[in-house]
Structure 1
Amino acid sequence: MEDRFSASVELQGDSKQAFFGVFDGHGGSKAAEFASKNLEKNIIDEIVRIRDKSEVDEAVKEGYLKTDAEFLKEDVSGGTCCVTALIHDGKLVVSNAGDCRAVMSRDGVAEALTSDHRPSREDEKDRIESLGGYVDLCRGVWRIQGCLAVSRGIGDQHLKQWVIAEPETKIISIKPECEFLILASDGLWEKVTNQEAVDIARPSCIGINKPNALLACKKLVELSVSRGSSDDISVMLVQLGRYI
């Protein structure tokens, strides 16, 4: 099991601020372990440093890049995909590097807040090739240099000139129709569609006296396994109503 996660509520003593992350390691669990322990702190440090609160996406970016640089200094092999959700000043700040994904339920409709970073994505392929790398199809999977099946992430020192740690970030205001957020590694998304995940999780989370997010997560994992997933699967569900 190479996946890791982090979850912190009441950031800086504020019950309306939180940080959540899912990290899917490859080539070992060390990069995922490192990111789960350090990325949150690095992002928060950057947010404290900025003066213009509209630059929160830049703060997150710097937090990712700093974590990557620190891990590379460890001189350890392997890497990790990341998806994170920062709840700050009534905003949901979702970022990813790799193919971990964030999907939100908006009044029961699934809304993907991230786009998977794979070498087959046209803009990622162009970026890699412009830097002198190549992307090819290996046993049905598009890979960088015939090796890695994701195009962004923390670590991967031997491919670092092509596998960047810079995240893509989306910021939305948390409104009453924003019900919950699912963060998961690709072990879920390879077998379960975004809307299926929302449909399965929603009855355990919305319109009942005692919501059970853990039960929802277990149902999603079990569905993916029943459909043949042999990958590591990590699922996290965040109830957004408490942060309005």
Structure 2
Amino acid sequence: MTVLFFFCLLLLQAFFGVFDGHGGGKAAEFVANNLDRNIMKEVMSRCEEEIIEAVKDGYLSTDAGFLKEDLSGGTCSVTAMIRNGNLVVSNAGDCRAVLSRGGVAEALTDDHRPSRKDERDRIENQGGYVDCCNGVWRIQGSLAVSRAFGDRHLKQWVVAEPETTLLRIIPECEFLILASDGLWDKVSMQEAVDVVRPSCIGVDKSESISACKRLVDLSVMRGSIDDISVMVILLAHFLP
């Protein structure tokens, strides 16, 4: 189950998220309902220079809150917070954020998979193991992502701490694509930007929703059977 989330206040501050659940939908629903509030609580109590730490603590407190619910399952996430002309993009797992910068695709996140050397080293240093089963790298022979909310039985190794990218929104920053791995497993980042751009840039009326649908249809046509959720955020609305 995948959940999309969007919150906006007077175009000065906004929060967007894609949450891709596994082992049921409870984790995705919980995180979608709580993460923005927990992050904003941390952000409002700190100075602007500490925003990356604030997002991290918001992620971790949301994870702790879900674990207290004694529910099973987990969820990957990618979020984008826009605040005072800054774009703050964070991820835990294999949901991904891609920026169109003048029509060129730029990854703002790096998938958290057990095949990543730094992730594999972290897991093995904490006493876990990573192996490859039928071409898919997994933790303890089970999960194919190395960071996520929830996943109580693997929590020693599957952490919810995000990696975060912070950048200033400038006119060359056209739009942001947030999507679950069901898209990225079948559609390259530049392909996705090329599909979206004609509907959103240099036109009288943006057709971002139809562009999202075209991306989903393209992924399905290429054989994706995974959950596919896509969100396009037009950044011109948030130029400082």
| 1:125 equivalenced with 2:87 (yes/no) | no
Match of 1:136 in 2: 131
- Tell me which residue corresponds to 1:61: 56
Residue 36 of structure 1 corresponds to which residue in structure 2? 32
The two structures have a TM-score, normalised by structure 1, of 0.97
1-structure distance, mates of 2:224, 2:165: 29
Structure 1 segments (4+ residues) deviating >4 Å? none
Match of 1:84 in 2: 79
Of 210, 224, 230, the match for 1:235: 230
Deviations 1:154-212 (A, max 9, x none): 00000000000000000000000000000000000000000000000000000111111
1:65 is displaced (CA, Å) by 0.1
Q: How many residues align?
A: 239
Output the amino acid matched with 1:46: E
SS at match of 1:218: helix
Per-residue deviation, 1:16: 1.5
**Who is 1:4 aligned against?**
3
> What per-residue deviation string (whole Å, max 9, x for no partner) do you get for residues 78-101 of structure 1?
000000000011100000000000
Unaligned runs of 5+ in 2: none
Give the residue type in structure 1 aligned to 2:32.
S
Q: Which one-letter code corresponds to 1:26 in the other structure?
A: H
Structure 2 counterpart SS, 1:31: helix
Which amino acid letter does the alignment assign opposite residue 218 of structure 2? Answer: L
Deviation digits for residues 37-56 of structure 1, max 9, x if unmatched? 00000000000111x21110
1:26 — aligned with what?
22
TM-score (normalizing by structure 2): 0.99
1:176 aligns with 2:176: no
Q: Which residue of 1 aligns with 2:181?
A: 186
Q: Partner letter of residue 85 of structure 1?
A: A
Q: Percent of aligned positions with the same letter in both sequences? A: 67
Unmatched tracts of structure 1, length 5 or more: none
* Matches of 1:214 and 1:4, distance apart in 2: 16
Separation in 1, partners of 2:112, 2:138: 11
The alpha carbon displacement at 1:15 in A equals 2.1
**Contact 1:16–1:242 at 8 Å: present in 2 too?**
no
Query: Are 1:205 and 2:214 an aligned pair?
Result: no
Q: Which amino acid aligns with 1:5?
A: L
